[in-house]
Amino acid sequence: MTDVTIGLDVSDRFTHGCVLDASGTCLEEFRVRTTAAALEEKLAGVSRARVVIEAGTHSPWMSRVLGALGHQVVVAHASRVALIAKGDRKSDRSDAEQLARLGRVDPTLLCPVEHRSEGAQKDLMLLRVRDGLVRARTQLISQARGLTKVLGARLPRCSARGFARRMRAVSADLFPGFGELVSSIEVLTEHIRTLDRRIEELSHTAYPVAGTLQQVPGVGPITALGFVLTIDDPHRFANSRKVGAYLGLRPRQRDSGDRSPTLGITKAGDPFLRKVLVQAAQHALGPFGPDTDLRRYGLRIVQQGGRAAKKRAVIAVARKLSVLLHRLWITGKRYQALGYTVNAAV
pLDDT tens-digit readout, 82-141:
656 565 566 777 888 888 888 887 787 777 877 888 888 999 999 999 999 999 999 999
Do residues 68 and 144 share a domain?
Answer: no
Domain that holds residue 175: 118-206
Euclidean distance between the first and final Cα of the chain, in Å? 37
262 and 155: one domain? Answer: no
Same domain, 96 and 24: yes
Last residue within a domain, chosen from 50, 79, 110: 110
What digits encode the pLDDT tens for the residues 271-288? 999 999 999 999 999 999
Q: At 33, which CATH number?
A: 3.30.420.40
Q: Is residue 301 located within the same domain as residue 236?
A: yes
Q: What was the pLDDT predicted at 316?
A: 94
At 85 the pLDDT is: 57
- CA angle 225/341/346 to nearest 5° reads 60
pTM given for the model: 0.79
Residues 149 and 223 in one domain: no
Whole-number pLDDT of residue 83: 59
Query: How is 134-168 classified by DSSP, letter by letter?
Result: HHHHHHHHHHHHHHHHHTT--PPP--STTHHHHHT
Domain stops at, among 189, 206, 223: 206
- Same domain, yes or no, for 76 and 185? no
Domain count, the chain: 3
Same domain as 33, residue 123 = no
Residues of the chain where predicted confidence (pLDDT) is lower than 70: 1, 82-90, 253, 255-260, 262, 340-346
Q: Which of 145, 178, 206 is the last residue of a domain?
A: 206
Phi, psi of 201 (to 5 degrees): -65, -40
pLDDT at 346: 43
